[in-house]
Chain A
């Protein structure tokens, strides 16, 4: 009996240790974001303003998509610091970790709402964005996502592009637009190759969404798709079959509307097989150069359709790239640029509407929606951007190619 109770006690202790460790994991994420918020708050208060407008946002600071969240957070911080340094209306940023998980994004939303955010950067990635968007609508808080590109982020009924939330805007292209733009680009540049193979992730909204529109547009433009391969979460490591099929079909362009992690495995496998087509990706491919341990020479010659290239020679881009590099030592990607633009766009709309920190989130929402649908914005990711009533942005995409381990703009 005594022995049994000892065992029970031991098992309980063990369980407690595990629970504690799990709790520690949970809290570490939020600690990092509160420190970030504290830093942001510090930088705000050092300018001597207590009436800063509160901007919230969430994104993956941990997990597989952490590159995106970190880029967005860093760039948004840079933008807030710059705007505050000018001495006009002050802003304060609080950025929470959602680990690219819809449930955590909802939790993050709750934290931000309690904190009293008046405008938001919504979420960085699409699936969490789709989960949080109805809450932004219900609570009437204005949000503009830097990079949540799925239609589900801005429409209640994304399949039919119907019932827009109305107060959730996008800085990036929507997925369908990326697919259409990619097909148009390939049609306009037959030198890249004419036989197209596609490998996409069929259990992912982002990837299958882009692919569906790409396929439809490819049919219109008479592009030849010689192979369609898929993968999903449970077999995202073995690409031997897909690569062999692309090769056997004689594809000279492989279109990868997927995130950079599986893409890195595909590039590695293709190189091992001695298969060298032109790889073509979208914004999800962005980040491949910063993957720890990845041999960037494998990504040489990969094309990306993105609205931003860090080697552009305008002052705005140069200044941003310099500040970003000082802060992180890395070249900013498109996500960072989108986030920077989001903050500036909010600031421009706030100025135009004459808002200040004393207004309620709901008043902010009405005024900002009005401004966004009527204003024109010039930023890092495009000139003369406008937004439709549904929250979609209109701007011109740009192709970049990876040369010597950096993104280089392709001149048309």
Chain B
């Protein structure tokens, strides 16, 4: 029974990682860049939903929608201002810019809202569902449910819609996509918009589970989710999903059965082993270098 309870907790944590990892993996798949500011978009989403809940007294769904709208706009603006001018630059320059944006957002948040921790209000249904001998909190169920829903909607979007197909074309071969008349800049903007919108959802779930809001809140989940994306195969959407869930479960089980001190070491050891055996990650595809 205890094991199932740990597993469910792991799934809940993994679902949050998975939603964040989707943002990393989509941007990497299409723009071929690591958006290290992604974690900080989560932080901005957390503050916006915090103020919507606390100061404007909005219920959770409108507060989440507000956070999604703000983060989507923020994501697109960041892309236009900071990344688009560097489209032809070396990938190292873009990476450093992303780190710069990350610092900019963190310090901006510190100036605007001070660095004192705020406690996120509990707006999600409390209590838990009791099944047989053990109980699962509604929050964990909602987190897992939202993650599955996002995954389903995103897969449909990528496979069935015209924009989705254009996104896949861009990730396969940007040059050919341009020749086919696809507006690559628009597609990249859409990718950033979706990734940042997902970050907003992740922020609400993350802060509802771990209720503290501070300017560097996105850094650690961001790094873990990035790890999950690499674990699953960066660029692959099902990979991010699988990687996120596995990372969450391994982390919780390692804590529960091996050692709370070593849990992170174990998570990263598993990552290293996976990458040694399968360098492209669990579901990553091997791409031949184009000449």
Q: Please, what's the 1-or-0 string for B116-150, where 1 marks a CB less than 8 Å from any CB in chain A?
A: 11111100001000000000010100000000000
Contact of B116 with A67 in the complex, beta carbons under 8 Å: yes
Contact of A230 with B261 in the complex, beta carbons under 8 Å: yes
Chain A residues lying within 8 Å of B82, measured Cβ to Cβ, are 14
Across the A-B interface, give the 6 residue pairs with the lowest CB-CB distance, nearest first. A293-B119, A237-B210, A241-B255, A294-B119, A25-B107, A240-B9
**A229, B222: Cα distance in complex, Å:** 25
Contact of A21 with B104 in the complex, beta carbons under 8 Å: yes
Contact of B103 with A241 in the complex, beta carbons under 8 Å: no
Q: Please, what's the 1-or-0 string for B75-118, where 1 marks a CB less than 8 Å from any CB in chain A?
A: 00000011001101100010001001101100110110011111
The answer to whether the Cβ of B178 comes within 8 Å of any Cβ in the partner chain is: no
Chain A CB within 10 Å, residue with most, of B111, B119, B256: B119
B14 CB, min distance to chain A CBs, angstroms: 11
Chain A residues lying within 8 Å of B107, measured Cβ to Cβ, are 21-22, 25
Chain B residues lying within 8 Å of A229, measured Cβ to Cβ, are 260
B277 CB, min distance to chain A CBs, angstroms: 25
**B110 interface neighbour in A62, A230, A232, A241, Cβ under 8 Å:** A62
Contact of A11 with B111 in the complex, beta carbons under 8 Å: no
**A64 interface neighbour in B86, B126, B214, Cβ under 8 Å:** B214
Contact of B5 with A244 in the complex, beta carbons under 8 Å: yes
Smallest Cβ-Cβ distance to A15: which chain B residue: B100
Q: Please, what's the 1-or-0 string for A56-88, where 1 marks a CB less than 8 Å from any CB in chain B?
A: 000000111011000000000000000000000
Contact of A238 with B111 in the complex, beta carbons under 8 Å: no
- List, sorted by A's number, 21 A–B pairs whose CB atoms are closer than 8 Å: A7-B86, A18-B100, A18-B103, A21-B107, A21-B108, A22-B107, A25-B111, A28-B111, A64-B116, A202-B261, A232-B261, A234-B264, A235-B251, A235-B263, A240-B252, A242-B260, A244-B2, A244-B5, A244-B9, A272-B126, A293-B54
Chain A residues lying within 8 Å of B104, measured Cβ to Cβ, are 18, 21-22
B85 CB, min distance to chain A CBs, angstroms: 5
Contact of B111 with A24 in the complex, beta carbons under 8 Å: yes
A235-B264, A291-B119 are known contacts; what are 10 more A-B pairs with Cβ within 8 Å?
A: A10-B85, A18-B101, A64-B117, A235-B220, A235-B251, A241-B252, A242-B255, A244-B256, A264-B212, A294-B119
Chain A residues lying within 8 Å of B212, measured Cβ to Cβ, are 237, 261, 264-265
Chain A residues lying within 8 Å of B115, measured Cβ to Cβ, are 62-64, 66, 99
The answer to whether the Cβ of A231 comes within 8 Å of any Cβ in the partner chain is: yes
Smallest Cβ-Cβ distance to B262: which chain A residue: A230
**A70, B77: Cα distance in complex, Å:** 36
**B260 interface neighbour in A25, A63, A231, Cβ under 8 Å:** A231
The answer to whether the Cβ of B6 comes within 8 Å of any Cβ in the partner chain is: yes
**A237, B209: Cα distance in complex, Å:** 9
B20 CB, min distance to chain A CBs, angstroms: 13
**A21, B5: Cα distance in complex, Å:** 46
Smallest Cβ-Cβ distance to A9: which chain B residue: B85
**A62 interface neighbour in B13, B81, B114, B263, Cβ under 8 Å:** B114
Chain A interface main SS type: helix
Contact of A264 with B119 in the complex, beta carbons under 8 Å: yes
Contact of B108 with A238 in the complex, beta carbons under 8 Å: no
Residues 5 to 26 of chain B near chain A (Cβ within 8 Å): 5-6, 9, 13
Chain B residues lying within 8 Å of A11, measured Cβ to Cβ, are 85-86, 89, 93, 97
Contact of A241 with B9 in the complex, beta carbons under 8 Å: yes
Chain B residues lying within 8 Å of A67, measured Cβ to Cβ, are 116
A97 CB, min distance to chain B CBs, angstroms: 11
Chain A residues lying within 8 Å of B214, measured Cβ to Cβ, are 64
**B118 interface neighbour in A21, A292, A295, Cβ under 8 Å:** A292
The answer to whether the Cβ of B175 comes within 8 Å of any Cβ in the partner chain is: no
Contact of B116 with A248 in the complex, beta carbons under 8 Å: no
The answer to whether the Cβ of B62 comes within 8 Å of any Cβ in the partner chain is: no
**A265 interface neighbour in B103, B211, B220, Cβ under 8 Å:** B211
Contact of B210 with A230 in the complex, beta carbons under 8 Å: no
Chain A residues lying within 8 Å of B210, measured Cβ to Cβ, are 237-238, 265
**A263, B172: Cα distance in complex, Å:** 48
Chain A residues lying within 8 Å of B114, measured Cβ to Cβ, are 62, 66
A302 CB, min distance to chain B CBs, angstroms: 16
Chain B residues lying within 8 Å of A202, measured Cβ to Cβ, are 261
**A312, B5: Cα distance in complex, Å:** 45
**A235, B262: Cα distance in complex, Å:** 11
**A64, B251: Cα distance in complex, Å:** 25
**A299, B211: Cα distance in complex, Å:** 15
Known: A15-B100, A22-B103, A241-B9. A234 touches B120 (CB 8 A): no
Q: Please, what's the 1-or-0 string for A208-231, where 1 marks a CB less than 8 Å from any CB in chain B?
A: 000000000000000000000111
Smallest Cβ-Cβ distance to A10: which chain B residue: B85
Known: A18-B103, A66-B115. A248 touches B2 (CB 8 A): yes
B214 CB, min distance to chain A CBs, angstroms: 7
**A202, B139: Cα distance in complex, Å:** 29
Contact of A293 with B118 in the complex, beta carbons under 8 Å: yes
The answer to whether the Cβ of A245 comes within 8 Å of any Cβ in the partner chain is: yes
The answer to whether the Cβ of A45 comes within 8 Å of any Cβ in the partner chain is: no
**A62, B101: Cα distance in complex, Å:** 21
**A14, B2: Cα distance in complex, Å:** 52
Chain A residues lying within 8 Å of B111, measured Cβ to Cβ, are 21, 24-25, 28
The answer to whether the Cβ of A268 comes within 8 Å of any Cβ in the partner chain is: yes
B286 CB, min distance to chain A CBs, angstroms: 31
**A291, B118: Cα distance in complex, Å:** 7
**A238 interface neighbour in B110, B117, B137, B252, Cβ under 8 Å:** B252
**A7 interface neighbour in B2, B85, B251, Cβ under 8 Å:** B85
Smallest Cβ-Cβ distance to A247: which chain B residue: B2
B121 CB, min distance to chain A CBs, angstroms: 6
Residues 240 to 277 of chain A near chain B (Cβ within 8 Å): 240-242, 244-245, 248, 261, 264-265, 268, 272
Contact of B256 with A241 in the complex, beta carbons under 8 Å: yes
Chain A residues lying within 8 Å of B9, measured Cβ to Cβ, are 238, 240-241, 244
**A363, B13: Cα distance in complex, Å:** 58
Smallest Cβ-Cβ distance to B213: which chain A residue: A293
Chain B residues lying within 8 Å of A28, measured Cβ to Cβ, are 111
**A261 interface neighbour in B117, B209, B220, Cβ under 8 Å:** B117
Chain A residues lying within 8 Å of B121, measured Cβ to Cβ, are 293
B140 CB, min distance to chain A CBs, angstroms: 9
B117 CB, min distance to chain A CBs, angstroms: 5
**A248, B5: Cα distance in complex, Å:** 12
